[in-house]
């Protein structure tokens, strides 16, 4: 690559003057902080120079390292399990969940698929035969779903959950029951005969038509089979379950149906039933005793008359229960139907998911659009699909966001002056940040941090916006380097100037995200840690690799190549200016002189054989009274730039052949210097700013009182979808939650029965617990167990009184009487297990309603084996499970007397339903009540805890605000310490923390006005806002701290140098967030895009408006005060009017043109008495060989050979 031609020779008559020292005044208390910062900046300078010397190697190794880390994304794991995402780590809920899984396994007993029917006309009554008929139509279509997988056909009857299938010794009856046993379907159709149509089982008996629930009368069937088989035990089982005639004894919804059984109450009258009357009090399955479906499970939007009778309802709900994957796998393991397909649990899960998706699809399409009713369907697989879609990376949005950022970076960094243009640097910077983000995420994957929706949907855009901020800062600082800076030190000077700011913002961002990990929600903790790691990778890329890019671009500019298209030479970069500085003399400038004006004559030589221009500037200066300016002589007048340096002397009529457009001079720094800062720092503007921000803070404090806790599933699911419609209807009409009161091990159940009953009573009295009808017994295992014992005791008493059971024989007694006989003789003693004398001296349940402790675990074994329907209805889920034991009344060997006792229980549960939980406050109240009941039971020796989705996902709100305030306070203290350490100025650190605290409060208040609820996600954003806010404040603060002059002057200088990079950083952040606005998930838009956009705008306003005003009023004093001296030797005796002029103009060659410029320097007032005077070291006299050339914009001289002007 060709080198630029050497500079022309200087005029022989010009001799550069010797430099004189310029003492600096430094407050003694600031000497140590300045030394420390100087040391740190010296390290940054050395780092930058080293990177510039080896820029190619650094760039190659950096890209290689980041690229290698990015490969870790191949092993990324996306977590969609709600429990793994939202249950607090290490909390009591987490410990309780672990205990439950340890005892019962990973899965629930069943999964629910739901249909909700509402009228298209809101508020319309659905308790009509027509509406129930449409519900039957949809439910029938859904129940007949079949999927073909692995060469088999799977229907509802194969995969549904069946509760308590009894064990029957008669093989024929057992096979028939297995085929006919009904699925558990909670539906309002069970109040009618039509409910049987949803059951798909069938059986065959010789001489009978196919037996189905639509034509099955269990009582009649047992009568017909009685002569052929001993069915006494089965008959007693049905009688205890109160099966009766099952479905054929119920009214027909449509009595004109040809299949309506004659036993239906309205078969002969052909009158349609009163739907509201039939549904009043709820329905029941085939068992009246154990399968009661309460009204609240079936009907929504209920209205009653003054007497409490059901009048109308606005919604119907049917729930189909399916087996879990583990249950389905166990059910068909070893079965002839699956022996040839390598049956596994994964295949069982695939079958269930396929069936559920088909179920939802057909149910939603079941009713035509012209009907008055609409169906909403949902399944557990639907929720999983939503979470998977929520967590998927949108390639289109990622690519679009990064392309938009590339375009913005390139356009904002392009310049008319080819030598100053940095479009390629902008492109390279954005691509580098993109690679750093990918490498950070890859490192997270390598560390085992699971990804979630926040990682995939938000972090790529947020990290891009934050990372590009520092790219703009370094690029702006690189272009503003002093023209006298040696070429080989340009990168070092850039890092020396901006490295402290970049380090401070990055460290604060990392600290903010790391402290946000204090929020104990796994999804948000993973997001915070991932964000901290990505910010760290961005920091490494900006501080180590991006300076290499700047160094290579500097080489491109020095070699006069075009921006972006660097292979082509630049015609406008070939002109060079060499500026010769001139120091003042030894005499100190009088304090009353506010401005020093240096008038410099420039001699421009134009070689006819080339386009190269050499300008020599022998100094001529004078002291003049300060001119008027917008800030009352606080700001320096324009000067010091090459564009000003080549302005022609006043009075010269001959002008340059070409001139740039006025708009080419305008940029953000120009705007901040000439328009924004003068306006902002006026006295009345400051007062207005303080009043407005005070009003904003006051409104935000009020808005903070409007913020509610919570995060509903409807906030996550995209609006306008069928899933959102279902969840909205469910939240409105069926806000019911199945929960359980779990009792643990560690206490004696047999001796704690009274405490267990009291615990159940206390829990049942909670406001949120759905009460049972007065006629219905509690649905708990302990009540069912006790009632069963009382039942067989009554049968024994009858048999004993009638003589069918004696001390020596029970064969003539009933099945229940024989069972009681065997239990009454049990002693619980391993040495003497039987005592026949107890037959008449003890009861299975005493007068206080308690089971004898020595009989408790033996009786538990018998109850579990003899009452499967009651056990299933109780949902006890015993662990360890009691042993199986089969009762044989005709066994005369005595072995049947030995009943194995169940092991001491370590897990059992009481089921409950919670109702009316609409707001987070309702959940919190229910959780607190449940916890209080468990705490009271623990004082009685019973270890228990509540379990269920409200406790898993809403208990976090009990301490969320406390955790949030703790994290914010810790982070503000850490920010103060970090700023005080790196800025070495606690005063300034305090002002920064004050502004950051205001931003957090205002963001919180605006959330209240926008209706955004407080959950773990906004908490993370609020905590991170402190770190992100540092991006907008620390640059201005550092600029103010290191500038000399009065408060207004320093605030203006800080704004001039930081306005452009801070604004560009904010715009880049907004562009990164803009892609979030296109998300199909309203949750992403409201909780991330809106909140982060408001945060960015607040940061911009506080950093560029409020902070400069506060600094101009309350800012700390400058660290260094410069005192200028003038040299008497150079003072001219003929000083011009208005100032002193020294030096004579040398004789100019004919080929040189004279131009004049003025530069105004503001002086600080004299130092306080006792100030420390630190003399600057003597610098060697300037020489043309030691100072590099500075480039001049392309608009300062015409292209081609130029003619000298006089």
CA distance 523 to 1016: 9
- Tokens 């401005």 belong to 595
Name the percent of the chain lying above pLDDT 70. 77
pLDDT at 27: 45
- pLDDT for the residue numbered 959: 81
Q: What is the pLDDT of residue 667?
A: 73
Pairing of strands 737-744, 613-616: unpaired
Q: Is the pLDDT of residue 650 over 90?
A: no
pLDDT exceeds cutoff 60 at 16: no
Q: What's the distance, CA 133 to chain centroid? A: 44
The pLDDT of residue 892 is 64
- Which of 149-153, 858-862, 877-881, 982-986 is least confident? 982-986
pLDDT score, position 944: 94
pLDDT band of 306, cuts 50, 70, 90: confident
Alpha helices in 517-671 (DSSP H): 522-540, 546-558, 642-645, 668-671
Q: Do 600 and 620 contact (CB within 8 A), yes or no?
A: yes
Of the candidates 897, 823, 831, 834, which has an alpha carbon nearest to the alpha carbon of residue 856? 823
* DSSP helix/strand/coil, 1037: helix
Phi, psi angles (nearest 5°) of residue 744: -95, -175
The residue-averaged pLDDT of 535-553 equals 91
pLDDT above 90 coverage of the chain, percent: 27
pTM of the model: 0.72
Q: What is the pLDDT of residues 1008-1031, one digit of tens each?
A: 999 888 887 788 788 878 878 888
Tell me: pLDDT of 779 over 50: yes
Of 744 and 571, the structure prediction assigns the larger pLDDT to: 744
- The pLDDT value recorded for residue 1150 is 42
442 confidence band (pLDDT: 50, 70, 90): very high
Residue 241's pLDDT is what?
A: 79
Task: Give the CA dihedral 229, 233, 239, 240, nearest 10 degrees.
Answer: -160
Most confident stretch, 21-30, 77-86, 651-660, 1020-1029: 1020-1029
For the purposes of burial, counting CB atoms within 10 Å of the CB of 1070, is it exposed (0-12), middle (13-18) or buried (19 or more)? middle
Residue 36 has pLDDT above 50, yes or no: yes
Tell me the C-alpha distance between 388 and 79, whole Å.
9
Reported as a pLDDT band with limits 50, 70 and 90, residue 1131 is very low
Give residue 1182's pLDDT.
Answer: 34
Strand-strand pairing, 146-149 and 310-312? unpaired
Contacts of 325 (CB under 8 A, 6+ apart): 107, 345, 348, 349, 352
pLDDT on residue 999: 93
Going by pLDDT thresholds of 50, 70 and 90, the confidence category of residue 340 is confident
Residue 1000: per-residue pLDDT: 92
Give the pLDDT score at 946. 93
CB count, 10 Å around CB of 425?
26
pLDDT given at position 638:
36
Averaged pLDDT, 355-382 = 89
Strands 1125-1126 and 576-577: unpaired
pLDDT at residue 398, as a whole number: 75
Q: What's the rounded mean pLDDT across residues 444-453?
A: 87
Which secondary-structure segment (H or E) carries 97?
helix 92-104
Average pLDDT over residues 67-81: 86
Report how far apart, in Å, the C-alpha atoms of 1011 and of each of 711, 715, 956, 1026, 1178 are. Answer: 12, 12, 20, 22, 64
pLDDT of residue 558: 72
pLDDT tens column, 386-437: 777 776 767 777 777 778 877 877 777 766 565 566 777 888 888 999 899 9
Predicted local distance difference test score (pLDDT) of residue 579: 43
Range in 240-254, 554-568, 772-786 the model is least confident about:
554-568
Please compute the mean of the pLDDT values over residues 1146-1170 and round it to a whole number.
38
What's the confidence (pLDDT) of residue 283?
92
**What DSSP line would sit under 383-410, residue for residue?**
HHHHHHHHHS--HHHHHHHHHHHHHHHH
Confidence band (pLDDT; 50, 70, 90) for 1074? confident
Using alpha carbons, list the distances in angstroms from residue 1080 to 361, 719, 1018.
21, 8, 19
Coil, strand or helix: which one is 489? helix
For the chain, the farthest-separated pair of C-alpha atoms sits apart, in whole angstroms, at 146
Helix axis angle for 546-558 and 459-479, nearest 10°, is: 40
Residue bearing the bigger pLDDT, 415 or 957: 957
Q: Which residues pair with 648 in a beta bridge?
A: 1155
pLDDT given at position 67: 92
Which pLDDT tens digit goes with each residue over 704-714? 999 988 887 77
3-state helix, strand, coil in the chain (%, to 5): 50, 10, 40
**Mean pLDDT for the chain?**
77
Report whether 925 contacts 781 (CB < 8 A).
no
- List, for residues 831-842, the tens digit of each pLDDT value: 888 888 888 888
Is pLDDT of 586 > 60? no
């Amino acid at each position: 690559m060709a080198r630029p031609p050497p500079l022309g020779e200087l005029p022989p008559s010009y001799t550069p003057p010797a430099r004189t020292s310029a003492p600096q005044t430094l407050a003694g208390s600031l000497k140590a902080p300045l030394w420390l910062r100087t040391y740190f900046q010296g390290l940054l300078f050395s780092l930058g120079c080293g990177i510039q010397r080896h820029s190619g190697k650094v760039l190659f190794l950096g890209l290689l390292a980041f690229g290698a880390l990015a490969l870790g994304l191949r092993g990324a794991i996306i977590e969609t399990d709600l429990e793994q995402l939202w249950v607090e780590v290490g909390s009591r809920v987490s410990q309780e969940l672990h205990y439950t899984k340890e005892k019962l396994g990973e899965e629930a007993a069943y999964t629910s698929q739901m249909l909700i029917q509402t009228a298209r006309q809101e508020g319309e009554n659905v308790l009509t035969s027509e509406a129930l008929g449409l519900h039957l139509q949809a439910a029938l279509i859904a129940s007949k779903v079949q999927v073909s997988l692995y060469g088999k056909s799977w229907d509802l009857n194969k995969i549904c959950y069946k509760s308590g299938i009894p064990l029957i010794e008669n093989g024929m009856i057992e096979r028939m029951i297995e085929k006919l046993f009904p699925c558990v379907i909670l539906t309002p159709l069970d109040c009618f005969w039509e409910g049987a149509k949803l059951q798909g089982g069938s059986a065959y008996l010789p001489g009978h038509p196919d037996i189905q629930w639509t034509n099955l009368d269990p009582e009649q069937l047992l009568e017909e089979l009685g002569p052929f088989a001993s069915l006494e035990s089965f008959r007693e089982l049905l009688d205890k379950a109160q099966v009766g005639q099952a479905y054929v004894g119920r009214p027909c919804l449509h009595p004109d149906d040809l299949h309506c059984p004659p036993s239906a109450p309205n078969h002969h009258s052909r009158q349609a039933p009163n739907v509201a009357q039939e549904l009043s009090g709820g329905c029941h399955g085939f068992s009246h005793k154990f399968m009661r479906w309460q009204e609240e499970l079936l009907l929504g939007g209920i209205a009653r008359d003054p007497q409490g009778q059901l009048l109308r309802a606005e919604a119907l709900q049917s729930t189909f229960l399916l087996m879990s994957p583990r249950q389905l796998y166990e059910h068909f393991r070893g079965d002839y139907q699956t022996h040839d397909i390598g049956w596994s649990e994964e295949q069982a899960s695939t079958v269930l998911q396929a069936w559920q998706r088909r179920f939802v699809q057909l149910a939603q399409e079941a009713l035509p659009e012209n009907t008055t009713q609409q169906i909403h369907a949902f399944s557990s697989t639907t929720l999983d699909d939503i979470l998977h879609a929520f967590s998927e990376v949108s390639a289109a949005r990622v690519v679009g966001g990064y392309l938009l950022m590339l375009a913005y970076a390139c356009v904002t960094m392009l310049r008319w002056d080819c030598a100053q243009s940095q479009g390629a640097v902008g492109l390279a910077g954005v691509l580098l940040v993109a690679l750093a983000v990918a490498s950070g995420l890859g490192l997270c994957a390598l560390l085992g941090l699971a990804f979630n929706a926040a990682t995939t949907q938000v972090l790529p855009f947020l990290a891009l916006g934050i990372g590009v901020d520092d790219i703009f800062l370094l690029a702006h600082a690189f272009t503003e380097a002093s023209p006298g800076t040696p070429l080989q030190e340009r990168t070092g000077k850039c890092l020396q100037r901006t490295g402290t700011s970049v380090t401070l913002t990055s460290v604060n961002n990392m600290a903010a995200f790391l402290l946000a990990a204090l929020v104990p929600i796994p999804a948000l903790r993973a997001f915070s840690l991932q964000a901290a790691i990505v910010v760290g990778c961005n920091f490494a890329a900006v501080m180590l690799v991006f300076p290499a890019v700047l160094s290579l671009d500097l080489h491109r500019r020095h070699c006069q190549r075009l921006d972006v298209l660097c292979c082509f030479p630049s015609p406008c970069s070939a002109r060079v200016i060499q500026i010769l500085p001139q120091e003042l003399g030894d005499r100190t400038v009088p304090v009353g002189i506010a401005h020093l004006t240096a008038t410099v004559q420039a001699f421009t030589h134009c070689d006819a054989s080339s386009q190269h221009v050499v300008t020599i500037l022998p100094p001529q200066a004078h002291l003049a009274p300060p001119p008027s300016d917008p800030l009352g002589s606080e700001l320096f007048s324009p000067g010091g730039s090459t564009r000003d340096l080549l302005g022609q002397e006043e009075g010269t009529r001959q002008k340059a052949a070409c001139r740039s457009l006025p708009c080419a001079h305008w940029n953000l720094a120009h705007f901040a210097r000439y328009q924004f800062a003068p306006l902002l720092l006026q006295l009345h503007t400051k007062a207005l700013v303080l009043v407005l921000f005070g009003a904003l803070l006051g409104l935000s404090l009020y808005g903070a009182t409007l913020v509610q806790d919570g995060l509903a599933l409807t906030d996550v699911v995209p609006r306008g979808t069928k899933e959102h419609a279902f969840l909205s209807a469910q939240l409105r009409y069926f806000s019911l939650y199945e929960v359980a009161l779990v009792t643990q091990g560690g206490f004696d159940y047999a001796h704690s029965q009274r405490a267990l009953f009291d615990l159940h009573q206390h829990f049942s009295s909670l406001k949120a617990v759905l009460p049972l009808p007065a006629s219905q017994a509690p649905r708990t295992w302990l009540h069912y167990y006790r009632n069963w014992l009382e039942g067989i005791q009554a049968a024994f008493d009858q048999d004993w009184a009638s003589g069918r059971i004696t001390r020596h024989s029970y064969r003539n007694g009933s099945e229940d009487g024989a069972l009681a006989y065997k239990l009454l003789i049990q002693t619980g003693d391993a040495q003497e297990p039987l005592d026949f004398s107890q037959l008449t001296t003890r009861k299975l349940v005493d007068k206080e309603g308690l089971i004898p402790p020595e009989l408790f675990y033996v009786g538990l074994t018998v109850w579990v084996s003899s009452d499967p329907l009651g056990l299933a209805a109780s949902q006890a889920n015993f662990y360890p499970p009691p042993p199986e034991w089969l009762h044989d009344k005709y066994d005369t060997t005595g072995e049947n007397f030995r009943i194995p006792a169940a092991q001491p229980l370590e897990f059992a549960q009481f089921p409950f339903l919670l109702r009316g939980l609409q707001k987070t406050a309702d959940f919190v109240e229910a959780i607190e009540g449940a916890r209080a009941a468990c705490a009271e039971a623990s004082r009685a020796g019973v270890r228990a805890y509540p379990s269920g989705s409200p406790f898993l996902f809403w208990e976090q709100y009990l301490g969320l605000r406390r955790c949030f305030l703790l994290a914010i306070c810790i982070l503000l203290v850490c920010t103060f310490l970090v700023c005080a350490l790196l800025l070495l100025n606690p005063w300034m650190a305090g002002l920064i923390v004050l502004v950051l605290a205001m931003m957090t409060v205002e963001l919180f208040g605006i959330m209240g006005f926008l209706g955004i609820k407080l959950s773990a996600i906004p908490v993370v954003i609020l905590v991170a806002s402190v770190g992100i806010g540092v991006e907008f404040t620390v640059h201005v603060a550092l600029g103010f701290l290191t500038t000399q002059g009065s408060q207004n002057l320093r605030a203006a200088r800080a704004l001039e140098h930081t306005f452009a990079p801070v604004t560009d950083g904010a715009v880049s952040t907004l562009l990164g967030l803009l892609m979030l606005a296109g998300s199909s998930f309203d949750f992403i838009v409201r909780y991330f895009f809106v909140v982060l956009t408001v945060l960015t705008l607040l940061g911009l306003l506080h950093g560029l408006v409020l902070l400069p005003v506060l600094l101009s009023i309350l800012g700390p004093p400058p660290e260094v005060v410069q005192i200028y001296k003038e040299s008497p030797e150079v003072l001219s005796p003929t000083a011009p009017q208005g100032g002193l002029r020294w030096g004579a103009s040398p004789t100019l060659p004919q080929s040189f043109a004279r131009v004049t410029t003025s530069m105004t320097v503001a002086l600080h007032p004299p130092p306080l008495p006792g100030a420390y005077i630190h003399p600057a070291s003597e610098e060697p006299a300037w020489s043309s060989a030691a100072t590099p050339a500075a480039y001049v914009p392309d608009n300062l001289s015409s292209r081609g050979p130029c003619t000298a002007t006089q």
